[in-house]
Amino acid sequence: MSKTRIRTVLRRYHIWLGWLVGVPLLFWTLSGVVMVWKPIDEVRGSALLAPAAPFTLSATPVVPDFGGRRLTALAIEPRAAGPRWVAQFAGGGSMLADPATGALLPDLTPADAVREFTARYRGTARIVSTQVIDAARPPLDLRRKGPAFAITMSDGAHFFVAADSGAVIATRTRFWRFYDWMWGLHIMDLGSRENTHNPWIVGFGLLTLLTTVLALVLLPLTGKRRRRP
């Protein structure tokens, strides 16, 4: 096969591959620009929650009895009503206990969740609603199973408070939700937005690589042809 014929065939494949990968390249570029548009701390709403307040214990804490359940972590942490034992169990789940008596505490109520949140919130928006989250079917914004409450703010932000540990487990600003959608578009996984190794992105990544290699091969061939008298 002559060089002219090889160049023609390669150019044809390059053009068709270029049309094929043009759309995902546009999506990758657009989503990439959106994701760097704002500082990541602003996207995450890091300034909306104050650090947990320091605390002191007036007496030696009483270690609670968890009935033989296997623990993965046990620590005393500050909560709106005072210091609390926070136990994390093997297999998932948490529980609060009173360090003064060792008594196990029930899961938070919606009012308790609001108190935990407002104790740390330092924004200016007001609470619009508090919703109980299905422990087995959390919303895509949370991506974490377990009992929780979603607190919706007037500025469009959402905060999630774990019902079993009382911790504010997620902050979702209005821009974060758009950012998260763009992240799903970037990795071509709008379902879970977590699978960075799905067939779509791997396949289009390989096609884009092939298109780039063809362009690098065609560049010197095209240059030589243009220099001919």
191 & 128 share domain: no
Average confidence (pLDDT) over 135-140: 91
The tokens for 203 are: 């396949």
Q: How confident is the model at residue 165 (pLDDT cuts 50, 70, 90)?
A: very high
pLDDT at position 138 is 92
pLDDT at position 58 is 82
50 & 22 share domain: no
What pLDDT digit, counting tens, does each position of 98-107 carry? 999 999 999 9
140 & 207 share domain: no
Q: CA-to-CA distance for 158 and 136, rounded, in angstroms?
A: 19
Whether 211 shows a pLDDT value over 90: the answer reads: no
Q: Are 163 and 12 in contact (CB under 8 A)?
A: no
143 & 160 share domain: yes
When divided into structural domains, the chain yields a total of 2
Following CA atoms 44, 46, 50, 54 in sequence, which dihedral angle do they give, to the nearest 10 degrees?
Answer: 100
Name the residue with higher pLDDT: 191 or 2: 191
186 & 86 share domain: no
Q: CA-to-CA distance for 20 and 158, rounded, in angstroms?
A: 38
Which ranges constitute the DSSP H helices of 69-198?
Answer: 110-118, 174-186
24 & 89 share domain: no
pLDDT at position 98 is 95
DSSP state of 224: H
Question: pTM to 2 decimals?
Answer: 0.82
118 & 204 share domain: no
What pLDDT digit, counting tens, does each position of 145-156 carry? 999 999 999 999
Contacts of 133 (CB under 8 A, 6+ apart): 139, 142, 147, 148, 149, 150, 160
Whether 226 shows a pLDDT value over 70: the answer reads: no
- 192: containing domain: 3-39+180-226
156 & 184 share domain: no
Whether 1 shows a pLDDT value over 70: the answer reads: no
Q: How confident is the model at residue 10 (pLDDT cuts 50, 70, 90)?
A: low
17 & 62 share domain: no
pLDDT at position 122 is 95
123 & 34 share domain: no
pLDDT at position 30 is 92
pLDDT at position 208 is 85
Name the residue with higher pLDDT: 195 or 12: 195
Whether 6 shows a pLDDT value over 90: the answer reads: no
Whether 212 shows a pLDDT value over 90: the answer reads: no
pLDDT at position 5 is 65
Whether 65 shows a pLDDT value over 60: the answer reads: yes
70 & 137 share domain: yes
191 & 165 share domain: no
